[in-house]
Amino acid sequence: MIIGERIKNICKKNKVKLIVNDDPFLTLKLDADGCHLGQKDMNIKTAKKILGKKIIGITCHNSINLAKKAIKAKADYIAFGAFNQSKTKKTKYVASVKILNKVKKFTKTPTVAIGGINAINYKNLLLNNANFLAISGYIWKNKKYKPLQAIKRLK
Identify the pLDDT of residue 14.
86
**Measured between alpha carbons, how far is 60 from 45 in angstroms, rounded to an integer?**
16
How many angstroms separate the CA atoms of 80 and 43, rounded? 17
Q: What is the pTM of this model?
A: 0.92
pLDDT of res. 1: 63
Condensed to tens digits (0 to 9), the pLDDT of residues 94-131 reads 999 999 999 999 999 999 999 999 999 999 999 999 99
Distance between CA atoms of 26 and 19, rounded to whole angstroms? 10
State the pLDDT at residue 37.
Answer: 98
For the chain, give every domain's residue range: 17-152
For 93: left if phi > 0, alpha if psi spans -120 to 50, otherwise beta; the answer is beta
Helix (H) or strand (E) segment spanning residue 139:
helix 137-140
Instruction: Give me the pLDDT at residue 90, please.
Output: 79
Q: Which CATH architecture has domain 17-152?
A: Alpha-Beta Barrel (3.20)
Q: Which residues of the chain, if any, have pLDDT below 50?
A: none
